[in-house]
Every structure is written in C-alpha cells, then in structure tokens.
A and B are shown apart, each in its own frame.
Chain A
C-alpha cells in the first residue's frame, strides 16, 4: 500500500532533523575574504541623522571605518552601493523566527476530579528555552533577513507561559548554537488558554498566574528553610517550572506579556501590579484606550506590525469589504476592473447608515494606525514585535505608520537603537559606528520611501545579496493563474531529498491539484485550498502519518520554475523547488 510508504516518506523529513544536521557539507562558494568595502552610499548612521554620502570598511565582521572619500582597500571585496542607502541592521524584539512549528498535543487531558491540571497540560512551560526549539534551517530565518533584520529575539511557541527567549543572529548557520548571541533573555507570557484542560478561560489563566507566583515565593522560602537546617524536615518538592520562574519573580528577567487588544492591556497591567514582575507589553494592536495606565505604569511597549487591512479611499468600490492590502496586487485589481466594467450600474448609492458605519470604521482604522505616533508623542518607549506580521509586510507597514504621523527617526529607532538598548546590545549593535558589528542593511532608496527595496544585507559580516525579482517575461501572468500543468518537486530533506510531481488543473476560477511521490508513483494526494496570488501559490495536503497531518506549501512561481518552503505540521519547514515538466498545451493528466 502506498499509504505506509508515504508515511515513511514524510516521516523521514523529521528523523534527520536532529542527527543529520551536523554532518552537512556547506555548498557555499569558497570565500577568499570577509572584508568588505561598501562604496559611496547614503549612510544613515543612526536615527535622526541625515543621510550622507560615505563608504564603509568592514573587516571580519566588524565595522572598521566609515567616512566620505574612502577608497577601496585591496583586501576588501567591493560592494557597489553607489547612491544606495545604508542603515544599521534591524533588530526584531519578539518573534518565533527559526522556531520549529510543533503540533499541539491533541489528546486533551482530563482534569483530575480533585486538584488542578498539571503544568504541561495548562500550558505553563517556563523551563522551555528558545534554543531547544530553534532550527537553523527554518526558512523563517531567511525570510526575516530579507526584510532587513539581522538580529532577532525569538521565543518558543506555547500557551500561558511559553518559555524563555534567545537573541539570535540571523545568519545561515549549520548549527543553531552558532546563531545564538544570548539566551534566557526574557519570559514569554500570555492569556492563552489550555485546550481541553484548565485553565480554559482568561479568568482561569489569571487565577493560575496568581497561584504560580505565590508558589514561587513559597518554594523559595521552603528551600531556604530546608537549606538552613534540613534535619527533621521533609525535602521540598522540586519543580522545574517554579524554578524557571524565579528570575522573572525576582525581576531579573523581563516578562514579555502578549496583550494584543486593549482589554488585554488593561488585564496585563492589573496582573503585573499584583505580581510585580518587570513587564514589556507585547504584540500590542490596540493600546490607546489604556494610554494613561501605560504611561503611569512606565511600561515599555512592543507594537504589533500586523496592522489592520488597508481601507481604500472612497470611490474605488463599495467600501464595506475593507480591502485588504494583500489584495492590492495587480491581479486582483484587474479582476475588479473587469467586474466594474461589466456591470457599472450595480454601484448603488450608500444609505446614510452605511456611510456612518464606514466613517466610524475609518475613524477606528485611523486610530489604530496613529498609535505609534501617539506613543512617540507621549514619550512612551516602544518598539515592534513580529509575532503575526508577515516579514514581507514589515517595511510596508512601518511606512503606513509613518504616513499616520510617526516620525521617521522614531520608526528607525524602533528598528535599531531601541531594541539594541532593551536587549543590552547597544555596544555592538543599533548604529553604524566603527567597532560595532557588521550588521547592516543596504536599500536602493531611503527605506521609508514607497518601493524602496533591500538589496544587500550584512549579518555578522556575512554578505547576503537579495536577488532581483525577474521582471517581464519571467513573471506569472497578470491574473496569477498560469500554473496548470505538471511540475517536478525536490524537497530538501538533508541526506534524503524527496522528489515527485505536482499537477495543477484549472477548475472554474480556481485550481485543483495532486501530488505524487516518486517513492510511490501509484498513489496521489489531493492538494487542498489552492490559492494563487500573483506569483505566490499556497496549498495544503493531508497525509496519514499515524494521524492526519497537514503539509503546507508556500511557493513562488516563475515561468518555468518555482521555489519556496513546505511545512510539515509538528516537524518543521523544508525548502522545496521544482521545474515545469508539462504546460497547458500538452497536458496529459487524466483527472
């Protein structure tokens, strides 16, 4: 049966994960030098400083010199950056970059009839470190780097208390350890409930926090008592969870509390006041209602860069649908235009009620976007968190915030000097100065200009060249709908690359598709939820690996090839690429 074989195929992707990594040979070209000369760029050495035409000399990962009129030393590779813009590398303060995706445990534990659910069931896992969940090969590392980031504070995924973070350099490494700058940097907390066990509501979560911190205090006392004179005393019960909470309890480690909505912000503040830890309000989407309380409490804030979908200006179409910025690509626009020309009459007059509602929505939208500016004006320290935003949207969204009143210097600070300061990296990162790490961003225009694109990145002295997207011919047609046919695939599972074929068939306005593994050519799996947006193609597939497991594909197509990543739920993410075998003209697949 194909089933068993396929099972082993996909399982194999995981098995290598821990073992195979170490023996990997790098296929990078031979490097003769790690010294670079960045030539004649507009350098923005730190926020608030006007760009000035300078060159930068970098030697072995450190900025050696910056100045106008430097000439290229002979031992440096020249990076042509004439008239481009150079900034200190961006620093992400909170994301799950490089963290393996793990599947939730589905076997919902029953709560005991007396007592409470155990720590793990309740999603209380402060002992889990980001490093233990880090995978050097995760595609998210490169994705975030492409957005201009050189350093990231990453956290394990989890529930109430997910674990502690690590600061990593976004370099391509053959092992996770090589990425780590520091670990055990902060504790990830949230109001996330446990599924099927206590706590199942936000009130349960809050009560549990109270219990936890009280018991940390109690455990510390008992330890002390016992250490003083254990004679005649029962040994205190060891708890790795309570132990792991001690640094947060002692305010030695900040608590990054995820509180997206304003109500969460109020609740997080109340809880902090009660329990006393050092708190950074994180992944905040709406904070204005709590502005006074945030200010009074002196909290730092990480604004989520996952902004509300853009609202199009009047006249383009019925505003009720609140056009997503995602839908802004050409393909969609053309489609809309067609619809409009088809039935121009349909555009009916809006009722006063509809107009009012849209106005209120717009006001709310404006309010959300203005928040960064308001924090700036109120001198509340803030940066950004990147939990939910797609890396590709980061700069685009920051530009929206700037448009809504945030100063460019504050925006740049939130990407560079602020995180460097908060993460204790100011001596090495955050600005462009001789002696600092060679973490920098080279963009073709000033980054706050529309259509500015990042061209080069230096991460710890490693040069990354962003490939220009092929234009014209190489692009998928304007509707983003030309994937029908057969395509080969190679999934890069180290030591055991997986190959096979993907087939797509046009079906009305969408696609259907199948996947056939070369290991098991007799059986095909259906592709589900195929979405095509310009050259981006996404779909899922369900395979049986003892239990139904979702495999998600995120591909970027060109005329005759594609590349991207495939995520196997619970196992991680793998690079995938492939080429066109058959096009629409000579399709031969039967179904």
Chain B
C-alpha cells in the first residue's frame, strides 16, 4: 500500500515552464520590431528571459531551445490594457469609492483564460477592477505565466500601480439606481470625485499635522484615504472607464484642478469627439476595435475611433475587456486598417508599445529590442491577416504556448469532485466582466438580468 503511494507523491511537483530556463533562439523569421521596422529573415535570441540579440545567423549555447521560424512572423508579446481574466473578484461594489481594494489580492493563476490569451499571442494583461464605482479598486499588470500556481508570481515585477475609475452609466446604475445614493447622474459622478479628493486632502493634512507634532492623537487610519492621497501625489496611474465626450472632459477638468497629470481613458467610445482635448492634456486612450450600441452611452460610436485618435496624436491602444476578444487582439488591431487605414506598424502599436506606455512598462516590453523582456508572439502569417494563426507564445524566454505540441486540456486546478457533464456553459447570458460581482452582492432579483449587460 504505502510503496504504491510514495511513488505517487513524487508526481506532485508544480513546475512552471517545466524544463525551460528562459533561453530560446528563434531562427529565420520576419521580425516585426515595432520600434525599428521589419527585419526579414532575422533571428532573435532570448537569454535568461531577456532579448539578448537580434540579427542574422545568431548562435546560442548548445542546450538552448531553438524555434525554426522560417516563413513565420515574430512580434512583441501582445499587451492588453484592459482585461479581467485571472481574477476571482472584480467589483467591490459596496461603495462608489473603493480605492483601498486591489484586484492583485484576488489573482486566480488557474484561470484557463490565461492560456487562451497566450494562444492569441497575449503575454501581458492589465487585470482591472470593474466599473461599478466612480473610484474603483487598484488594478494589477500581470504576466501570463500560466502554469505558476502562486498568484504573486503572475504580477509583473516593477509595474507601476494603477487604479480604475469609472464614469457614466455603470456607477450611476450601481449606486444611484441600485442603492439610491449618489451618483445617479453625471453631475453626481463629478462630485463623487471632487468630494473624495477633497476628503483625501483633509486626511493628508491631518496626518501631516500629526507627524509634525502639531496634534498628539493620531487620526484614524484609512487605506481608502491613503490610496486617494497617493493618486493626488501622482503615485498611481488612473485608468478611467468612460464613454461620453462630456464626461471625459469633466474628468480632465477635475484632474487639472487637483494637479493630476496622467490618465488613460478606457473604452472611451466618444474619445474621437474630443481627440484634440485628449492630445492637449496628454491623456491616452484604450478602446474597443468595434464594440458599440450595446447600451445607450455607446450608441453614437464609430469603429474609426482608434484611427481618429491616432491621427490626432493620442497614444491609443486596443483592448479586449473580454476573455473572448483577448484571444484575437491581433485581429482587433487589424480592424483599424479596414476602419481608418492605419499602417501595419500603427496597427501593431495599438496592441504592443502603446498599451505598454499606458501601463508604464514601455521600457520593459512592447517592442523587440535588445534588453527588453523575452515576450514574443510567433505567427504563421502576418498577424494582421485574418488567416494568421499564432504558433508560439513566449514569456520571459519560456515557450508557454506551442500550437502543435500542447495538450488540449490545459487546466491546472482540477476539482476532484467535478461533474464532467455539468461543465458546459450556454451562451445565453452575456458575460460582463466589467460589472461582475455587482449583481451578486447588490442586485439579486429583477435587476439581475439587466445588470449583466456588457461593460
């Protein structure tokens, strides 16, 4: 009895990137560097997780894994600036202002969506809090190190702190309609920000006074106020869910009044209307390629949004906000060629260097350059072709997606009591990641269905 099981025990090793060392040589492909043009028939060498050489006829130490990529296209690992995969909690919808929460505390490394994203060439995503609250929670930039079981290992080391804000219908619906508290209108949304920032200034002053010895008794500690103060101090990048032109301008004004400089507007379907203002402020935009009309505030949208923003000098990215779209962001980026005629490089930037800039990680990723992280996506055809199929995806020099050799079932955490028959999901209810958890916490009953609508 015992002998049988001692051998079994040896099997339980949770090995991420089993047998890989972060070294790989990719030979003979067409390299889409993003920052330095297209290089035909070129090798890329990754050593210990970093790109160490780009050139012809590169040599690598004997044991280095080699990918024969002749005829293939190599691009930087795709970056999704707005996603909710790999998270066990998305909306702390209990209050319109919840900057104290951090989705980084709820990373789910077992989410098979991570692998599905890898299979679409996506190596980094911005795991975001939802849009139920005007000031939502802090977000986490993650590397898609699928196979890691420790949630912390997915966090991208050194990535700047980010936080989710939200304007318009979602906070209005969650709190105004749902709970009967401010905000129920866009007027209310503005004042939620102004009040929160004002409170945070008072809080900061109280602590400053205490620390300076002006007051003896310490004020109450509030992680909420601490985080708001950090936002005012520019220590946290704002990513704001927004749609309408007026509300975008409103937030720009609020930020100007409080001296906050950096913001990336998310979705920003009407960003095209205020592209000059966004460019003047230095705000960036992360948009859908073509989603529109699923709710009223996106009725006056255009699939040419990304092109108009780009042409007006706004740093723009295309995001998924969806565990479906994240699997083909290369195709979503290509739509800007149908809708707005962007060049290959402009289109590819939307899913590489530009989102990297928006997340503050452009010195690490987003292009194929020596010294950058070894995150690559390899396609059989040009990635902007509808027929392109990702073949390999590499994170930190480890091949984590290999189309030809991967098993079909890539789950890591298998419920020993699972019922195989019950594992099927119908598509009747749209998944709404941006509003996930809201329904469960606050909206049982008739509003359930309604609240499930997208974004």
**A–B contact at 8 Å CB threshold (below):** yes
Q: Which residues of A are in contact with B by a Cβ distance under 8 Å? A: 110-111, 113-114, 116-117, 193, 195-204, 206-207, 210-211, 214-215, 218, 221-222, 225-226, 233-234, 236, 262-263, 266-267, 270, 286, 288-290, 293, 308-309, 311, 320-322, 353-354, 356-358, 360-361, 363-368, 370, 373-374, 377, 403-405
Contact residue among B195, B217, B441 (Cβ-Cβ distance under 8 Å from A201): B441
Name B440's closest neighbour in chain A (CB-CB). Answer: A200
Known: A197-B94, A200-B94, A200-B437. Contact between A263 and B88, CB under 8 A? Answer: yes
Q: Does B429 count as interface, using CB distance less than 8 angstroms?
A: no
- Mark each residue of chain B from 401 to 417: 1 if its CB lies under 8 Å from any CB of chain A, else 0: 00000001101011111
Most buried by A among B102, B199, B414: B414
**Cβ contacts under 8 Å, B150 to chain A:** 266, 289-290, 293
On whether the beta carbons of A270 and B94 are closer than 8 Å, the reply is no
**Cβ contacts under 8 Å, B137 to chain A:** 203
- Mark each residue of chain B from 344 to 366: 1 if its CB lies under 8 Å from any CB of chain A, else 0: 00000000000000000000000
On whether the beta carbons of B179 and A110 are closer than 8 Å, the reply is yes
* Alpha-carbon gap, A266 to B110, bound state (A): 13
- List residues of B (73-88) whose CB comes within 8 Å of A's CBs: 88
Q: Does B424 count as interface, using CB distance less than 8 angstroms?
A: no
Name B183's closest neighbour in chain A (CB-CB). Answer: A113
**Cβ contacts under 8 Å, A373 to chain B:** 5, 9
* Alpha-carbon gap, A142 to B172, bound state (A): 53
On whether the beta carbons of A308 and B416 are closer than 8 Å, the reply is yes
Q: Does B297 count as interface, using CB distance less than 8 angstroms?
A: no
Q: Does B427 count as interface, using CB distance less than 8 angstroms?
A: no
On whether the beta carbons of A267 and B12 are closer than 8 Å, the reply is no
Q: Does B208 count as interface, using CB distance less than 8 angstroms?
A: no
Q: Does B432 count as interface, using CB distance less than 8 angstroms?
A: no
On whether the beta carbons of A207 and B220 are closer than 8 Å, the reply is no
**Cβ contacts under 8 Å, B414 to chain A:** 360-361, 363-364
Q: Does B63 count as interface, using CB distance less than 8 angstroms?
A: no
Q: Does B100 count as interface, using CB distance less than 8 angstroms?
A: yes
On whether the beta carbons of A270 and B5 are closer than 8 Å, the reply is no
Q: Does B324 count as interface, using CB distance less than 8 angstroms?
A: no
Known: A270-B152, A322-B418, A365-B416. Contact between A199 and B94, CB under 8 A? Answer: yes
On whether the beta carbons of B415 and A354 are closer than 8 Å, the reply is no
On whether the beta carbons of A320 and B417 are closer than 8 Å, the reply is no
- Mark each residue of chain B from 151 to 183: 1 if its CB lies under 8 Å from any CB of chain A, else 0: 110000000000000000000000000011110
The 6 closest A-B pairs by CB, nearest first: A200-B441, A198-B94, A405-B5, A201-B89, A289-B149, A308-B416
On whether the beta carbons of A198 and B91 are closer than 8 Å, the reply is no
* Alpha-carbon gap, A360 to B122, bound state (A): 27
- In the assembled complex, the CB of A214 is this many whole angstroms from the nearest CB of chain B, namely 4
Q: Does B95 count as interface, using CB distance less than 8 angstroms?
A: yes
On whether the beta carbons of B88 and A198 are closer than 8 Å, the reply is no
Q: Does B108 count as interface, using CB distance less than 8 angstroms?
A: yes
Cross-chain pairs A/B with CB under 8 angstroms, 22 sampled: A110-B179, A111-B179, A199-B94, A200-B440, A201-B92, A201-B101, A202-B106, A210-B100, A218-B221, A222-B218, A263-B88, A288-B14, A289-B149, A290-B150, A293-B150, A322-B417, A354-B420, A357-B409, A367-B416, A368-B416, A373-B5, A404-B5
On whether the beta carbons of B220 and A267 are closer than 8 Å, the reply is no
**Cβ contacts under 8 Å, A309 to chain B:** 416-417
**Cβ contacts under 8 Å, A204 to chain B:** 89, 92, 94, 98, 101
Contact residue among B93, B222, B418 (Cβ-Cβ distance under 8 Å from A200): B93
Contact residue among A113, A202, A321, A370 (Cβ-Cβ distance under 8 Å from B89): A202
On whether the beta carbons of B94 and A111 are closer than 8 Å, the reply is yes
* Alpha-carbon gap, A373 to B11, bound state (A): 13
On whether the beta carbons of B220 and A218 are closer than 8 Å, the reply is yes
Q: Does B105 count as interface, using CB distance less than 8 angstroms?
A: yes
* Alpha-carbon gap, A267 to B103, bound state (A): 12
On whether the beta carbons of B102 and A203 are closer than 8 Å, the reply is yes
* Alpha-carbon gap, A358 to B421, bound state (A): 12
On whether the beta carbons of A320 and B421 are closer than 8 Å, the reply is yes
* Alpha-carbon gap, A176 to B2, bound state (A): 44
On whether the beta carbons of A113 and B181 are closer than 8 Å, the reply is yes
Q: Does B245 count as interface, using CB distance less than 8 angstroms?
A: no
* Alpha-carbon gap, A204 to B138, bound state (A): 11
**Cβ contacts under 8 Å, A363 to chain B:** 11, 414
**Cβ contacts under 8 Å, A262 to chain B:** 149, 413
Known: A218-B218, A266-B152, A361-B416. Contact between A370 and B8, CB under 8 A? Answer: yes
Contact residue among A311, A356, A377 (Cβ-Cβ distance under 8 Å from B9): A377
On whether the beta carbons of B416 and A207 are closer than 8 Å, the reply is no
* Alpha-carbon gap, A111 to B441, bound state (A): 12
Known: A288-B12, A293-B150. Contact between A207 and B5, CB under 8 A? Answer: no
Q: Does B442 count as interface, using CB distance less than 8 angstroms?
A: yes
**Cβ contacts under 8 Å, B415 to chain A:** 361, 364
